[in-house]
Amino acid sequence: MINIVLFGKPGAGKGTQAEFLKGKYNLTHLSTGDIFRFNIKNETELGKLAKTYMDNGDLVPDEVTIKMLQSEVDKNQDSAGFLFDGFPRTIAQAQALDAFLATKNEKITATIALEADDEILVARLLERGKTSGRVDDQDEEKIRNRYQEYNEKTAPLMEYYTGQNKFYPVNGIGSIADITERLSTVIETL
């Protein structure tokens, strides 16, 4: 089983590239954003709680995120592997994910980070916000708040996974095909 964490700031292209990776490597794509939106749309208790944080551009607390994610993993027990998109975002979440996977005799195989300049990403998200209907993609101040949260809470994950020899940075700027090729090169070496 292969378990990959797809890492990167909002707008880095995780969702776009996840579509490629799940098909080519037969992985179950678990996007915390999609999981949150499903729970919000269906007005689950966890969804309502997550929405209050997302609307302010803040990260959803660990306990809410972890409960949603564990439920999705449990629904896909026959999967060939998982592609975690948008999770973990903190060291505490990474440790919780490691502990959860260990209960299933699994572990993270690799963490691949799509790297891109903030200004390019802000422009991408503002453009996406014109059609996505996502409140958190329509306000530059909220977007920059998400990046500040990312830098403070998520960036330390690079060290966490580097210490385990599982961190692979990939240039996230260029055509979709170019980025996909870079990702494939990394995955083929795992």
Q: Return binding residues for AMP.
A: 32, 37, 58-60, 86-89, 93, 134, 146
Of 9, 22, 146, 182, which is the active-site residue?
146
Binding residues for ATP: 11-16, 128, 174
**146 labelled catalytic:** yes
Q: Which of 9, 14, 22, 124 is an active site residue?
A: 14
Q: Any catalytic annotation for residue 124?
A: no
Kindly name the residue from 89, 124, 142, 182 that is annotated as catalytic.
Answer: 89
Residues in the annotated binding site? 11-16, 32, 37, 58-60, 86-89, 93, 128, 134, 146, 174
What is the SS3 string spanning the chain?
Answer: CEEEEEECCCCCCHHHHHHHHHHHHCCEEEEHHHHHHHHHHCCCHHHHHHHHHHCCCCCCCHHHHHHHHHHHHHHCCCCCEEEEECCCCCHHHHHHHHHHHHCCCCCCCEEEEEECCHHHHHHHHHHHHHHHCCHHHCCHHHHHHHHHHHHHHHCHHHHHHHCCCCEEEEECCCCHHHHHHHHHHHHCCC
Active site residue 14: yes
Residues designated as active site: 14, 89, 128, 134, 146
